Amino acid sequence: MIKIDKYDVDTSLFYDANEHYWVKIEGNVAKVGMSPLIQETSGAFVAVQMNALGKEFSKGEGFGTIEAEKHVGPLKAPLSGKITKVNQEVIENPRLINYDAYGDGWLVEMELTNAENEVLDLIIGEDKVVEWFKSELKKFEDKGWIAQ
């Protein structure tokens, strides 16, 4: 974990640059959560709905929805696979995403079906993660999505 500006960023994880998810892959299973930057720009999360347990999804397909103070939208699968576990604690207390994103605030676990190809689209490695995060932070600040 390193500090970038005021954000703690786990550089040991994979990141989906488009949807701002972190992905922890162990074998053929991935745990998925949201990056600290999305939490900042969305505000406090107030509702999470998952309709995906046991269903198979292709990368980019919706597996649920999320509602926050400043954002309502779909949750899109960062990789193809089958949702094998939904974090019920986040369903009951969505603010865990804001307070413990890398711990109790994870969203789902997936059994991966095409990781060997799709993982190439994710960001991994401390230098690449730091470069990407700093670039996104600047972009979000320039758009006025983050107070300076």
- Is 148 inside a domain boundary? no
- Is 16 inside a domain boundary? yes
Is the Cα torsion angle 36, 42, 45, 51 positive or negative in sign? negative
Three-class SS of residue 35?
coil
* Structural domain range at position 40: 2-142
In CATH, what number is assigned to the domain containing residue 86? 2.40.50.100
- Is 147 inside a domain boundary? no
Query: What pTM value is reported for the model?
Result: 0.91
Q: What is the pLDDT along the chain (148 residues), one digit of tens a residue?
A: 899 988 899 999 999 998 999 999 999 999 999 998 887 788 889 999 987 688 899 999 999 999 998 889 999 999 999 999 999 999 999 999 998 989 999 999 999 999 999 999 999 999 999 999 999 999 988 888 776 5
Tokens found for residue 138: 């600047």
Euclidean distance between CA atoms 102 and 89, whole angstroms:
14
Query: Domain tally for the chain?
Result: 1
Tokens found for residue 50: 């998952």
Euclidean distance between CA atoms 71 and 84, whole angstroms:
26
Q: What is the pLDDT at residue 145?
A: 78
Tokens found for residue 14: 């994979």
Q: What is the pLDDT at residue 76?
A: 94
